[in-house]
Amino acid sequence: MSEKQKKQNKGKTKDVKTSTVQKAKKPAKEQKTSKSSKPKASKQKKNLKIIPLGGLLEIGKNMTAIEYGNDIIVIDVGMAFGGDDTPGVDCVIQDYTYIRENQDKLRGILLTHGHEDHIGALPYFLKEFKCPVYGGKLTVELVRHKLEDNGVSLKGIGLNACRNGDRIRLGSAFEAEFVRVNHSIADSYAIALRTPVGLIVHSGDFKIDYTPINGKVIDLQRFGELGHEGVLCFMCESTNVEKEGASPSERDVGEAFQKIFKKAEGRIIVATFSSHVHRMQQIFTAAQMNGRHVCLSGRSMINVFNIANSLGYIDMDPDTLIDIGSINKYPDNEVVVLTTGSQAEPTSALSRMAFASHKEVEIRDGDTVIISAHPIPGNEKSIYKLVDELLKRGADVIYESLAEVHVSGHAYRNEIRLLHTLLKPKFFIPVHGEYRMLIRHAQLAQSLGQDPEDIFILRNGDVFETDGKKAVVTGEVPAEAILIDGSSAAVRDDHFMSDRLHLGEDGCVSIAITIDTESGELACEPAVSSIGFIVDDEKQELHEAVAERVTYLLSSGVRKNETIDAKITTRSFRNGVRDLLYERTRRRPMIVTNVSHVSLRGASRRR
């Protein structure tokens, strides 16, 4: 193999038979360079670039930029929620540095569907970058409401509703076609993107449901036609690639609801994702067939219902829907409450019902509570704590492991295999998944005959380039996670997060030290306080012990010609305090020192 070929093959998946596949790497000459939003130009002037800015090696904040010459389009602009490793963070979005430095090339945004991990970051993105947005009818209306709710002006944006088969011209380089797929929200699409070097297909989130609620089956015929046309690169979601077989139909959930609704004697409370319009329809159908009325609880649930109903996506009798304020006017066996809170969010409607802080509904003996959702990874503990509380209050709680009250909106291996077979792509990039999912998907593609040299496991920020004949990863652009914490936004700082985790786990001890500016000695005994570290009954004794240790360390412990100010900054001083705290409590709180300087004349200054 020539040196040129070796360099081109850098970054590709070398062997997908085992889990030791390496992530895509930069070419050897760029290995030591820092991240730059200006990747090294390839020898050809106009290669197609695919640049994932979110959604790879993770679940959530999906976003991909595709560039050719002077045109850039973006597929999805989603968000992720903070987890256990990001306490206090409202959400996580992408780094827009590359878009910012090339915003004159931005031609539009293509949205696959209306879930938060695909549209949630749009208020942040569109506040800065004005461009047209294209998506399904429900998706566009959800975006419109989201932008208005966040005070983002629609001027200069343009929201465009598209249907199956619609083709949109974007700049001089791109033509996008919307191809219908099934998913757990209406108006979900794959994107077929025609470019000067070939056809790119992005699956979006999908499943193959032969009996969908809205009667619109995934357009497999069109996928077959695209495969016959010739697909240069296939980007396919990987969420459920580890699951064998095919995903159950949404109608299975409807049948489960019918059985539960028929059997239940008291009120029924169903918690699900507010964006799951098909699930919403199933609940209304089951309620009507069992002589029950439905009321809505939770701001997002009400908002999505109103949008979906206005578009004609909810089929119900007019008198089925009632206001939650009138719930007590109906017998318990005629009431269904459709609510948010399937992930046990602390401020959600279901959590407030369970902990008796909801204005209209309090869980009581005889209620049937259905949690119609799969726990988001990391939420299991919170959900089971909520289930425990519901059970304590006398409710019969039904969730996924007890009955088929939820099915996934993501394809299993057989469904993914079918799309690969229909499209027969030259290059393949698995997307939308954690590392193990991308690896399993790469292995699946290879089992179908895909050349491992043409499979790319990318990271957020990698720049994939192709001229239509060969492909290589040529560099990387900034793609750090941006934390949204209240009104502030910052690149993820591991030290910042570790400090916050430290505070949450072990609390904080504050030591106020006052130094006489004339003598350079302690002016008084150190003042010690603590937060979230030790119970009140033990505080005083421990604080006194810490003050005594600090006094010793800063007095008899000071070496000749060493000032107290200098001693405070030494490791030996901090270790001396930390060791005492650990000996007494077996915990290691954060230690904060606050130094004041006071003169005998009463003047003082703070450092």
Domain of residue 596, CATH code: 3.10.20.580
- Answer for the pair 266, 238: CB distance below 8 angstroms, yes or no: no
Mean pLDDT over 208-217 rounds to: 90
In a shared domain, residues 295 and 236: no
Percent helix, strand, coil in the chain, to 5, is: 35, 25, 45
**Looking at residue 346, what is its pLDDT?**
84
Q: Is the pLDDT of residue 142 over 90?
A: yes
Share of the chain above pLDDT 70, in %: 85
**Looking at residue 453, what is its pLDDT?**
96
**Looking at residue 28, what is its pLDDT?**
34
Last residue of a domain, one of 437, 458, 492: 492
138 part of a folded domain: yes
In a shared domain, residues 458 and 536: no
In a shared domain, residues 171 and 273: no
- Predicted confidence (pLDDT) per residue in 416-430, tens digit: 999 999 999 999 999
**Looking at residue 586, what is its pLDDT?**
80
- Please give the tally of structural domains in the chain: 3
Mean pLDDT over 111-135 rounds to: 96
Share of the chain above pLDDT 90, in %: 64
The CATH number of the domain holding residue 289 is 3.40.50.10710
> Could you list the residue range(s) of the whole structural domain that residue 84 is in?
3-14+47-245+408-492
In a shared domain, residues 381 and 297: yes
Mean pLDDT over 526-545 rounds to: 83
| pLDDT confidence band for 194 (50 / 70 / 90) | very high
**Average pLDDT value over all residues in the chain:** 86
- Predicted confidence (pLDDT) per residue in 314-351, tens digit: 999 989 999 999 999 999 999 999 999 998 888 899 99
553 part of a folded domain: yes
Q: Is the pLDDT of residue 61 over 80?
A: yes
In a shared domain, residues 461 and 440: yes
The CATH number of the domain holding residue 111 is 3.60.15.10
- Answer for the pair 138, 114: CB distance below 8 angstroms, yes or no: yes
In a shared domain, residues 431 and 561: no
26 part of a folded domain: no
258 part of a folded domain: yes
Least reliable range by pLDDT among 129-133, 204-208, 409-413, 508-512: 508-512
- Which is more confidently placed, 543 or 601? 543
**Looking at residue 601, what is its pLDDT?**
57
Q: What is the pTM of this model?
A: 0.77
- Predicted confidence (pLDDT) per residue in 363-376, tens digit: 999 999 999 998 87
544 part of a folded domain: yes
In a shared domain, residues 499 and 486: no
**Looking at residue 505, what is its pLDDT?**
66
| pLDDT confidence band for 214 (50 / 70 / 90) | confident
| pLDDT confidence band for 134 (50 / 70 / 90) | very high
| pLDDT confidence band for 509 (50 / 70 / 90) | confident
The Cα 386–Cα 566 span in angstroms is 51
**Looking at residue 91, what is its pLDDT?**
79
The Cα 40–Cα 30 span in angstroms is 9
Least reliable range by pLDDT among 92-96, 260-264, 453-457, 506-510: 506-510
Mean pLDDT over 234-263 rounds to: 95
20 part of a folded domain: no
Q: Is the pLDDT of residue 246 over 80?
A: yes
- Predicted confidence (pLDDT) per residue in 252-294, tens digit: 999 999 999 999 999 999 999 999 999 999 999 999 999 999 9
Q: Is the pLDDT of residue 10 over 50?
A: no
In a shared domain, residues 319 and 374: yes
In a shared domain, residues 303 and 288: yes
Q: Is the pLDDT of residue 500 over 70?
A: no
Lookup: tokens for 116:
């938060």
The Cα 193–Cα 112 span in angstroms is 12
- Answer for the pair 588, 581: CB distance below 8 angstroms, yes or no: yes
211 part of a folded domain: yes
In a shared domain, residues 57 and 195: yes
| pLDDT confidence band for 574 (50 / 70 / 90) | confident
Q: How far is CA 21 from CA 11, 15, 16, 59, 427, in A?
A: 11, 6, 6, 20, 17
Alpha-helical regions (H) of 184-296: 220-229, 250-263, 277-289
The Cα 372–Cα 274 span in angstroms is 11
Q: Is the pLDDT of residue 16 over 50?
A: no
33 part of a folded domain: no
**Looking at residue 181, what is its pLDDT?**
98
| pLDDT confidence band for 176 (50 / 70 / 90) | very high
In a shared domain, residues 430 and 572: no
Amino acid present at 69: G
Report residue 447: phi and psi, to 5°.
-65, -20
- Predicted confidence (pLDDT) per residue in 84-106, tens digit: 555 556 678 999 999 999 999 99
Q: Is the pLDDT of residue 34 over 50?
A: no
Count other Cβ atoms within 10 Å, centred on residue 279: 27
In sequence order, the 6+-apart residues with CB closer than 8 A to the CB of 238 are: 416, 430, 431, 432, 433, 437, 438, 440, 441
Q: Is the pLDDT of residue 15 over 80?
A: no
| pLDDT confidence band for 605 (50 / 70 / 90) | very low
The Cα 315–Cα 319 span in angstroms is 12
